[in-house]
Structure 1
């Protein structure tokens, strides 16, 4: 398989650094504080993304003040009760966050918030596992993501360990989900757009649990959804508008650099410019902002997954282009404020870093 076919193809780990290096842009609005509310950390056979790698991306010109880690089944415990294996990921990320918080690696605070994974199909027992996660990272653990993204098409459903069909309707899952709000934790939702009505049902069953919708609601443009752009957009938009009516829901604006979106950027000879990405992604991003408002919407990198499409510098230039028509206070929400509120992060992360003497 040539590199063009490998970029962003399952399992989404191949980064074509030589291709990305063909595109460079000056940083737009370089002083604007950014809190990146969605990235991963892992050490896998074919790809490593740990503190040195994410710092290399964060330090490419944008003023990133802090980040939130999103679960990716990384560093689970090999020993002990398998129901608590996921606690290992929280321990692992909390260690990296402590390294970053030392200041040795610069002013950015990597993993200032941690979104882990707990199997909610454990039902009431999920509370024990959630409390174990809270104990391991009391200053940073903010909630969990139990991915429910499932589709009958193998072109769409590309997770290494796909969830069962109709997971969100599972009574045990719903029982586990009900624990989150009581513990003051949030739920990150990763589904494909045909599943959004099921997510709405889940939210209505537990209206006191904060929900963060990942990746613009998972609009798919591959497989059975290819060539049906207008129909898919209409269906997706109806669900986005319905979700926005639920005040406990916020939305992450990103994750659209994956092949799932059906764009062809990965296979081009040159990486896309921020202008090209802003034009292609604009209808989806602006629909979500119009529905949720800037106070409940936040730009996200989804790195390193979306790095298969563009560099960190180009990605945040894209977001800055998409936000160019908003007021200063609205931009402050989109780039940092909404993330700080959603994940209960230190408020100073939404402010510019103090100048060095």
Structure 2
């Protein structure tokens, strides 16, 4: 099996529960859309991530914000920058910022003081139940959200798009009107409903998003929707995504430690590598490192 000499994990998380407040990690006994978080409700630091790499040659990584309390968003970015300076990871930080906020410019200025800061994730959709509580799926119809996305584009910052398939077409309409914005689709659009109608909706939405030139698809997080996922399950999602986006607009991520709930790192990324063995070494190198490096400027 061909394994790249260097791998960039395009989507993972770290946290220090004594440094920042993470409401969902502090709240005990509550199951989330991805399952029971109890086993990961403890610190997860760079040394823990490196230990999970095992023998895989992961040399760079992209950290995506992880539901820190709003007032600690900047604190999280600064902590991650310290981690990068001391431990070598992460190489890119995707932080939280409210793109609808009146002080967005000032907030982005503060995040930009950290040299690894590359962009923003403001979650548009998690699951129907959680979206009903948070109201995040109304962002797409908010003109200030589009203004915030334009501000990111003007600054050369990227946007990590996390949403669910029913929101994909609406997102494509919004994003297609914003020139120059780099967008990374998280978790292939979170396809949780793989009934015939659900799969059709996901593929249709994915095709719409693939029409946007600056949009890259990150393949990760499969354990969140099928806790016993297998290679055939992942293959059923990975192959159409690569077909739509092409191997130069695909990046693989572990979604650790969330996906650690279901499989070890070596099995997670190893299965992804097995699935893409039909591609050339150059294409595999791109999907497992080069594309993320170029997108996040690392």
TM-score (norm 2): 0.87
SS at match of 2:181: coil
Please say if 1:191 is aligned against 2:163: yes
1:106-130 per-position Cα deviation (integer Å, ceiling 9, x unaligned):
xxxx21111001111114x211111
Matching of residue 302 in structure 1 with residue 255 in structure 2: yes
Q: Which residue is 2:65 aligned to?
A: 71
Q: Deviations over 1:259-305 (max 9, x none)?
A: xx2x351xxxxxx6xxxx22111121111101111111011101011
2:205 corresponds, among 235, 239, 263, to 239
Alignment of 1:195-210 (within 5 A): 195-210=167-182
1:15 paired residue number: none
Matches within 5 A, 1:1-357: 29=2, 32-44=5-17, 45=26, 46-58=41-53, 60-74=54-68, 82=71, 85-101=72-88, 110-123=89-102, 125-135=103-113, 137-138=114-115, 140-152=116-128, 154=129, 157=130, 162-221=134-193, 229-258=195-224, 261=225, 263-265=226-228, 277-345=230-298
Number of residue pairs matched?
Answer: 276
Provide the C-alpha distance between the structure 1 equivalents of 2:127 and 2:236, rounded to a whole number of angstroms: 24
Distance, in Å, in 2 between the alignment partners of 1:281 and 1:192 is 17
Residue deviations 1:227-254, cap 9 Å, x none?
x611111111111111111101000011
1:321 Cα deviation after fit: 0.8
The runs of 4+ residues in structure 1 deviating greater than 6 Å are: none
Q: 2-side partners of 1:237 and 1:134: how far apart?
A: 36
**CA apart distance, 1:310:** 0.4
2: CA distance, partners of 1:112 / 1:93 = 9
Q: CA deviation at 1:64?
A: 0.5
Q: Tell me, in whole angstroms, the C-alpha distance in 1 between the residues paired with 2:266 and 2:234.
A: 16
State the TM-score, normalizing by the size of structure 1: 0.73
How far has the Cα of 1:35 moved from its partner? 0.2
In 2: Cα distance, 1:31 partner to 1:235 partner: 34
Gaps of 5+ in 1: 1-27, 102-109, 222-227, 266-271, 346-357
Verify the 8 A CA contact 1:31 1:62 in the aligned structure 2.
no
CA distance in 2 between partners of 1:344 and 1:320 (Å) = 23
More displaced, 327-336 or 228-237?
Answer: 228-237
What CA deviation, in whole Å up to 9, does each residue of 1:153-194 have, x standing for no partner?
A: x2xx389x7343421211222221210000000000000111
Q: For residues 45-76 of structure 1, give each alpha carbon's deviation from its aligned partner in whole angstroms, at most 9, with x where no partner exists.
A: 43221122112112x111111101000134x6
Measured in 1, the distance between the counterparts of 2:49 and 2:135 equals: 28
- Tell me, yes or no, if the aligned pair for 1:113 and 1:343 is still in contact at 8 Å: yes
Task: Output the CA distance in 2 between the equivalents of 1:162 and 1:220.
Answer: 19
The range that moved more, 164-173 or 240-249, is 164-173
Instruction: Please give the secondary structure, in 1, of the residue aligned with 2:112.
Output: helix
Q: Deviations over 1:56-103 (max 9, x none)?
A: 112x111111101000134x68xxxx5xx42111101001111123xx
Q: Work out whether residues 2 and 277 of structure 2, in 8 Å CA contact, stay in contact via their aligned partners in 1.
A: no
Deviation at 1:29, TM superposition (A): 4.4
- What is the CA-CA distance between 1:150 and the residue it aligns to? 4.9
